Structure 1
C-alpha cells in the first residue's frame, strides 16, 4: 500500500506539472512544495456501471473542500477506493487549475460484473446446493475476494462429504456481448471419497473394540458386515465429534478422567486412511454427598429429590446435565417455570477422595423476570389476533418456560405455520428484570384441493373437494380481502362433491369456527350433506357392493375384488333400487382446564333422513327412516406436531345415542310382519367408541418414532326387536370408503380387503356391532420441509369385529404387517400407499387376506 501511495503521489506531481505547461493563464509557479487549493469540481470518468455522483462521494472529497496538492487528501481518497475492492484501476488528476481552484478528474475502472457461472464436473443437485451459498449473483461485481471465497467454500463443501482431494478451478472469461462483463467457468474434480480402511483402539479395558466402534457413529471401517448400513467415508468434522462421543460414553460410566491420549491418521495409496486411537481411561468414580447453597426459593432436600441422583450412584456427567438443565422436569426448570429466567446452577467438585466426588450445587436465583412485550413476526397471511389468542405467555405475567413450550405446541396445532420453524426468542433485560418474547413464524400453505378419480367395479368416480383452513367469514364482503379468498381468521370451510354420473352423487358442506365469540376457545361446527345412490343389476355383486373395489373408492371394489374368482357381467343401472341420505349436524366444543388443559369436551346434535327403495344391504330395505342423535365426547390431545408427531398422546371416549323411543312407545316391535318403514321410522341405539394413540421417540434426534394405537367400539340397542339398521362398524382394508357412504363407520385394517372382516347376519347383511383394533407403527421422516412432509413407516396390526357380544373374543384378532409411506402436500393434504400382508384366513372369504395394497387420501391410520 505504501508503494502504491508513493507511485500515485509521483503521478499527481507529474500531472500538475503537465497542467502548468499547457495553461497560458493563469501562470502557475510550481516548486514541488504542497499548495492549498479549493475543489471547484469533481468529475468521475471511466467505464462505469454506477452513478458517477455516488462514486464521487466514495472518495470522501467534496466540492468547496480545501486540500493540499500534493498531500494526504488525494492519497487517502485513493486508499478508500482500493478498500472498497470494487475497482481494478484508480487515478486522480487535475483537469485544470484556476488561481486557488482545482478541478479534479477521478478515473475509475470498475471490476467486471458477472454474466453467468458455468459449472462442470457436478450433478444438477450438487450445483443447486452450491449456487445459493457462494453469494455470486448475476450482475454482481466479480472481486478477487468473492472468487477466493467461492473456491474455498466449494472445496469445504465436498470435504465435508468425504471428498478430501477435491480440486477446484475458477477461470474468468470475458463476455464478448456485454462490455466489462465476464463468465466464471468453475470446474470441480471431486476425486474419490476417502474411506476408513482400519480403525484401531489402544489402552481400552472398560469398553471392547466392538463397543468403541459402535460409538463412532460416522467413522466406520469399510468391508465389515456390521457397518453395511453405516457410512464409511472419512470426514474430519464427524471424526472429531465421534472422538467426543467416545469420551462422553466413558464419562457416563463414571470414568470422568478419560481422555484421548493420541490419535493418528495415515493416508494410503488407495484413497483410504488408517486410524489409531490411544485411550487413557482413568478410574471409575461415584457420586458422594450433594449439597445446595444459594437456594432460597426451594429447600435443598426438595431439590435433591428432583435431581434424582443419590450418593453411591455411578458418576454420570451426562445424566447430571440432563437432570439439572435438559429434562422437562429438570431442577433448573423449576426456577425457569417460576419466572427465574436469570437463574443458574453451577455444580462444583468440593472434594474428591478415593473413588468418590462430593458436589456442591451453587444456585444463583436472581430476580423473577416479567414479560414486557410479545412480538409476532412472519405471519404474512394469518391475522395477528389468531396467533395472540393461542399465546400462553402474555405481557405482565411472569416468565414460564413450560408455557413457552406449550405455546409452540398450540401454534403448531393451528396448521398455519411450519411446525419445524416456530422459533421463540427470549430477549432478556436483567437491569429491568423483564424479558421480551419474539415469536418467529413461517407461514405455510394449508388450504387443500382434492381432484381425484378412480376406476373400480366397472365405473369411474370423480371427486372434487376444496378445504380452506384459514378462512375469514367477516371479510366476505371486503373486496380487498379476496386474494383469491378472504383468509386469516383461522376458520375452516370445506366443500366436496363426488359422482360417477349415473349411480352415485354426494355433496357436503361444513364450517368450523374455532373461537366462537373470539374470547374463549369454544368451537362451533356446522355440516350439511346429501347423497344419492342407485342400485345395479343383482347379478353383478356377490353379497355387499361396499366390500370390494379400489382402495380410495372402496364402495366399488378393492385390490383383487370380491370374494373369489367369479364372472362379473357389465354393470347396469337398476332404477328400482336407491338410497338417499340427507343430514345436518351442529357441534360445540370446549377446552377444559381439568383434569388438565389438554382435555376437550365436544357435543353434537345430528339429524339424518334415509330414503331406501329395495336396498338390500341394511336391515331395512324400503321406506323412510329418521335418525335424531346426540354425541358427547371427552378427549385429551397432547401431541406436539400434527404432521409428524414425535411426543404426546391422543385419547377420546365417545357416546352417541338417540332417544329411547321404545321405552315410551306402545307398539309391539316383536311382530315380524311389522313393515320396516314403521319399525325404523325413528331409529334408536347407543354407540360407544374409544380411541387412543401414544407417540414416543426412540432416538436422541427424535426422528425415529414409535406409535402405538388401540381402539374399539360397541353398538347397542334399547329394544332387541328394534336394533339399528345403521351405524354399523365396517372393518378391513384402507379404512375409507372413498365416497361418503353414510349409514356406517369404516375402520381400516391393512392386509385385508375392504370390509372383509365385517360379519354378516343370517340374512346376509353386514352386522358389525363390536370391533377391536391394535396397531404398532414405526415412523422415520424423509423430509420435513414446509413444501412437503414425507415419512416412511413399518407397521403391525390386529383386529376383528363381531355381531353379538356373546361372540366377542378380544384375542380372536386378525393379524397383518407391512410397510408404507406418507406424503403431506399443503395443497392436497395427506396421501400415502401401504403394502400389507394379512396372515390369517377369513372364513368364507379365501381371497380376503394375503398381499394387499392400500391407498390413503386425506386420513391416517
Structure 2
C-alpha cells in the first residue's frame, strides 16, 4: 500500500513538472527486422535519487506486455522520459533475450537537484522577496527552463520597482559534498533606479502643468522643489495609473471626451527618462434634465433632492457615482436601507445637445429581501452569543445596508477581532426573496500585560499590570476552560501593581461586565484600589510668587510622613436610544478614604473621606478603536459630593482644624472632552484629529474647598509622578510632567517664610490637533506616526481664567499597538512658552506613552 501511494505521489509531482519541463526530444533511429517479444523484466540503472520501480512505471512499459523491437513501443517510452524534462540522458537496451522473451535495461541520468542558492548583490529583505517569487526549493530538480524562469522572475521583480537596468546572471556548479546536486550562484546587479528627468504636457488648457504634475502622484520630475517629498522613480504600473488619474480628473471637470492623444517615454540617459504627454481635452459638459422612471417607493422630486445635483452643474461622473451608489446617504442606499437588496439604478444619457447632458435614471426596485440566516465564522475563542448580541442584522428582519455597516463597527469595538479583516458577505437568493449574511471574523490576541518602569519624584517606579479583555466569570470553576484563563464572554478583568519599594505602593483590581443580565447592553463596573506613599519628594522644589526658590519640602527617607488611600466604586452604564443609540449614560458611586501626615496638599494632616457620584453622558461613533479614520468621541461629565456645608450652620471661616474641615470632602467637578476624526486622502489613511477638553473643580463653600481632586498639567499625562497623587493628570507634550500646574500660596508657620506653595489647579483647558498616518495595520501590530500641535493651561481661580493664555507646543510621535502589551508610544515635543514658575520646563522633551492615548 505504501509503495502504491509513493508511486501515485511521484507521478503527480512529475506531471506538474512536465508542464515546465523540456519538451524537445532527440531524434531516434534504428535498423533491423522488427520482431515481437514479451517483456520478462525491466531494470532501471544509473545514479538515481528515486525508487527504480517508480521510474520504470514512467516508461509506460510493463512486465508481460508484448512489444515490437525495433518499434514504436521503445520509441514512445524514450519520448516520455524526455517529455518529463527530468533526465539529461535516456537509453533503453535489451539486457537479455531468450526465445520470445526480452529483459529491458533502462539507463537514466537524472538532472541534478538543487542543493542551495547563493545570492550576491541583494539585501536580506530583497532575498526573501525574490525567493518567494522564484519558488525554487532545495531538493527540486534543476532544469534549463527553471533556471531561465528564475532569471526572468528576478529581473521583472526589480523592474517593477524601478530598476530597469537590472542584470541577473545564474551560474550552476556541482556540489562536491552531495552526488548529483548543484549550487546556483545568483548575482544581481540592480544598477540605479530609473527616475523621471523631465515631464511635459501638451494640449492642456483647463489644468496647468503644475496641477497635472500634482495629479500624477507617483510619477514626478526630479530636481523640482515641489516634488521634494514625492517619489521621482519611474515605475510603469504607477505611470499607467497616473495617466488614468489625469483622465478621471478631466471627467470630474466635465470634460467627458478627454483622452491621451499620445504619450512617449524616452531614455534621457541610462538612469533617467523623459516623458511627454499630449492631451485632447474636448468640450466641457454640464448636467441637464434628470428624470426618474420605474420608481414607486420614492417620488422623483425626493430622489432628485437626495441626489444633490442640479441642472447646470458641471458634469462630474465621479460625483454622480458617489451620490448614486457610494456615499452613506446615496440614492441607492435609500433602497438598500429599506430592504430592496435587489434594486438597481442605471443612469442613461438620453440626449446630448451642445454642452448639456440629459440623464434618465432607470430604477428597478424589485422585492424587499428578508434576512434568512446569519452565519458567523472565525470566532475560535469568543463565544457566539457575545457576537450575536452586537448584531444589528437579525433573521426575519428586512435587509438594511446601514445596519450591516453598523454591525461591522460594533464588532470592531469589541476588540476581540481584527477590525481590518471583518468582512460581511450577503448571500442573496432572488427566487425566495431572502438573503443570508455571513460575517467572516479573525480573532486577535487582546489580553495585555504591562511590565514597565518610569521615573517620578526622583526615583524609579516599576509597574506590573494584567488586563484580560475577553474574560469569562461563569467558567471560572470549569477546569477545562482554563487555557490559560477562562475566556470568551467579553468581560474585562484588570489587575495592576505599582511600586518602587518602601516609598510607594499602589494596587488595583477592576471588573467590567458589558451586558449585565445578558439581554440588554447595560454594563456593570466594580473596582478597588489601595496606595501607600511615604516621604519621597526630594526633587519637589517650590517657588514663591516671585519665582525665587524657597526651602525644598524634602520628605525623602522619612517613613513617618505618608499619604494613604483606599477606594471602591460601582458603576452602571446604559446605552440610550435617544437622540441616537451611539449615546451612553454611565453613573458611578464611589468611596475614597485618605490618610495624610505632614503632606503638601491643602490638607497636611488628618483623614478625609470622599463619597461621590459621577455621571458621564458620552457619544462614541468611531469606526476603529486602534486606528480611527472616521467618527467622533464626545463626553460630558459631572462629579459631585453631598453639600455637607449646606446642612451645617457652622462658620467655616473660623475653623482652623484640618481634620474637622476636611473630614468629608465636598466639591462638584465638570468635564468636557471631544474628538473628531476625518480622512484627508482617497486611500483613507491620512487622518486629522482635532480635540478639545476642559475641566472645572467647584466648591459649595469657599472656606471648605476640596484639598484633592484638582488637576495637574504637563508632560505625558500619565500618573507616574505620584507626588501629586489624588489629582487628575492632564498631559501637554513639550513640557515636563506637572510643570504647568497652577499653585496657590497658603499660610504655614512651619516654613521660615511663613507660607508655602501647593499645587491647586481647579480649572484647565486644552486643545490638540493631530495628523496620523499608518505604517502597518496588521493583526500582529498596529503602527502609525503622527505630528501634533497642542495648547493648554491651568488656573487656581476662576477669576484668573483666560482661555487665550495658553502654553503651546508641537512635535512628532509614534504609536505601536501590540496585542500582548497594548498601546505603546513615544513623542518628542517642543514647548514654545516659558513658565515663569518653572523656567526650564519647556523646550525639547521626550514623552513615553503606555496604555493610553492623548
TM value normalised by structure 1: 0.86
Please name the residue that 2:15 is paired with: none
Residues 1:724 and 2:706 aligned together: yes
1:354-393 CA-to-partner distances (Å, cap 9, x unmatched) read: 1111111222333444444444344344344433333333
SS at match of 2:246: helix
What is the 5 A alignment of 1:56-71?
none
Cross-structure match for 1:616: 600
- Residue 576 of structure 1 aligns to a residue whose secondary structure is coil
The one of 613, 617, 620 aligned to 1:634: 617
User: Cα offset for 1:672?
Assistant: 2.9
Aligned to 2:4: none
Which position in structure 1 is the counterpart of 2:569? 585
- Point out the more displaced range, 402-411 or 526-535: 402-411
Matched, 1:169 2:169: yes
Give the secondary-structure state (helix, strand or coil) at the position aligned to 1:152.
Answer: helix
When structure 1 is superposed on structure 2, of 698-707 and 358-367 the one drifting more is 358-367
1 CA distance for matches of 2:339 and 2:45?
63
Matched residues in 2 for 1:172 and 1:66: separation? 43
| Residue 633 (structure 1) shift | 1.2
> Residue in 1 aligned with 2:413?
413
Partner of 1:542: 541
Shift of 1:742: 4.4
1:462 CA drift (Å): 1.5
- Structure 1 residues 449 and 338: CA distance shift in structure 2, 3 A: same
- Contact 1:620/1:680 (8 A) holds in 2: yes
Deviation per CA, 1:276-314: give whole Å up to 9, x if none.
111111111111111222333333222221111111111
> 1:751/1:31 Cα in 2 relative to 1: closer, same or farther (>3 Å)?
closer
SS in 2 for 1:240: helix
CA distance in 1, matches of 2:618, 2:272: 58
Q: In 2, Cα distance between the equivalents of 1:489 and 1:378?
A: 16
Contact map agreement 1:564 1:845 (CA 8 A) in 2:
no
**Residues 168 and 838 of structure 1: is their aligned pair in 2 closer, same or farther, counting only changes over 3 Å?**
same
Q: How far is the alpha carbon of 1:345 from its aligned partner?
A: 2.1
Task: Give the stretch that moved more between structures: 133-142 or 103-112.
Answer: 103-112
Query: What does residue range 396-795 of structure 1 map to in structure 2 within 5 Å?
Result: 396-536=396-536, 541-543=540-542, 572-617=556-601, 619-664=602-647, 666=648, 668-670=650-652, 672-673=654-655, 675-738=657-720, 742-763=725-746, 764-795=757-788
- Check conservation: 2:464, 2:496, Cα contact below 8 A: yes
Q: What is the RMSD computed on CA atoms of the aligned residues?
A: 3.6
1:560 alignment counterpart: none
Cα deviation digits, residues 501-539 of structure 1 (max 9, x gap): 1211111112222233333332222211110001247x7
Distance 1:41 1:637 in 2: 81
Whole-angstrom CA distance in 1 between matches of 2:345 and 2:475: 52
- More moved, 89-98 vs 123-132: 89-98
Matched position secondary structure for 1:701: coil
How far did residue 598 of structure 1 move?
1.4
* Local SS of the residue matching 2:535: strand
Instruction: Choose from 785, 792, 803 the match for 1:799.
Output: 792
What SS is found at the alignment partner of 1:516? coil
Shift of the alpha carbon at 1:702? 1.7
**What secondary structure does 1:796 align onto?**
strand
The 3-state SS of whatever aligns with 1:133 is: helix
Q: Deviations over 1:577-621 (max 9, x none)?
A: 10110111122222223222211121212111111111122x222
Q: 1:590 to 1:54 in 2, by over 3 A?
A: farther
Structure 2 CA distance for partners of 1:72 and 1:696, relative to 1, 3 Å = farther
CA contact (8 A) 2:535 2:555 kept: no
Q: Structure 1 stretch 47-56 or stretch 637-646: which is displaced more?
A: 47-56
SS of 2:718's partner is: coil
Is 1:837–2:836 an aligned residue pair? Answer: no
Match of 2:803 in 1: 810
- Aligned-partner Cα distance in 1 for 2:71–2:524: 81
What aligned pairs does 1:187-586 form with structure 2 within 5 A after superposition? 187-536=187-536, 541-543=540-542, 572-586=556-570
Measured after TM superposition, the shift of residue 262 of structure 1 is 0.7
Contact 2:613 2:641 in 1 (8 A): yes
Which region of structure 1 is more displaced relative to structure 2, 649-658 or 827-836?
Answer: 827-836
Q: Residues 685 and 717 of structure 1 are in contact (CA less than 8 Å); yes or no, is this contact kept in structure 2?
A: yes
Specify whether residues 85 and 480 from structure 1 end up closer, same or farther in structure 2 by C-alpha distance, changes over 3 A only. farther
Structure 1 window deviating more from structure 2 (845-854 vs 56-65): it is 56-65
Question: Aligned partners of 1:465 and 1:808: how far apart in 2?
Answer: 38
Shift, 1:316, TM fit: 0.9
Larger CA deviation: 62-71 vs 715-724:
62-71
TM-aligned CA deviation for residue 408 of structure 1: 2.2
Are the counterparts in 1 of residues 45 and 52 from structure 2 also a CA contact under 8 Å? yes
Q: Hey, what does 1:21 align to over in structure 2?
A: none
Q: Report if the CA contact (8 A) 1:647-1:697 is conserved.
A: yes
Structure 2 distance, partners of 1:334, 1:250, is: 30
Distance 1:440 1:113 in 2: 42
* CA gap 1:141/1:773 in 2 versus in 1, 3 angstroms: same
Cα offsets for 1:190-237 (capped at 9, x unmatched): 112111111111122222222222222111111222222211111111
Whether 1:827 and 2:811 are equivalent positions in the alignment is no
Rounded to whole Å, the distance in 2 between the matches of 1:400 and 1:718 is: 51
8 Å contact from structure 1 (residues 162, 194) kept in 2: yes
Q: Give SS of 1:501's match.
A: coil
Indicate conservation of the 8 Å contact 1:564/1:846, yes or no.
no
d(CA) in 1 for partners of 2:474, 2:51: 50
Deviations 1:101-146 (A, max 9, x none): 9999887766554333221111112112222333333344545555
* 2:594/2:609 contact within 8 Å kept: yes
Give the aligned partner of residue 551 of structure 1: none
Q: CA deviation at 1:46?
A: 6.7
Matches of 2:341 and 2:149, distance apart in 1: 41
Which moves more between the two structures, 766-775 or 235-244? 766-775
Give the match's secondary structure for 1:488.
Answer: coil
Alignment of 1:52-131 (within 5 A): 112-131=112-131
**Which 5+ residue runs of structure 2 have no aligned equivalent?**
1-17, 747-756
Measure, in 1, the Cα distance between the counterparts of 2:726 and 2:323: 53
Give the SS at the match of 1:677: helix
Deviation digits for residues 811-839 of structure 1, max 9, x if unmatched?
A: 33332222222222222222222232333
* Cα distance change on mapping 1:80 and 1:613 into 2, 3 Å: farther
Structure 1: state its 5+ residue gaps.
Answer: 18-29, 546-562
8 Å contact kept, 1:412–1:419: yes
- Partner of 2:243, secondary structure, is helix
* CA 1:41–1:721: 2 relative to 1, 3 Å: farther
Could you tell me whether the CA contact under 8 Å between 2:457 and 2:536 is conserved in 1?
no
Q: Is the 8 A contact 2:34 2:68 kept in 1?
A: no
Checking the alignment, whether the CA contact within 8 Å between 1:544 and 1:765 is kept in structure 2 is: no
Paired residues of 1:731 and 1:758 also in contact (CA < 8 A): yes
Moved more, 443-452 or 568-577: 568-577
Contact 1:506 1:739 in 2 (8 A): no
Question: The residue matched to 1:246 in structure 2 has which SS?
Answer: helix
Q: Is the 8 Å Cα contact of residues 536 and 577 (structure 1) preserved in structure 2?
A: no
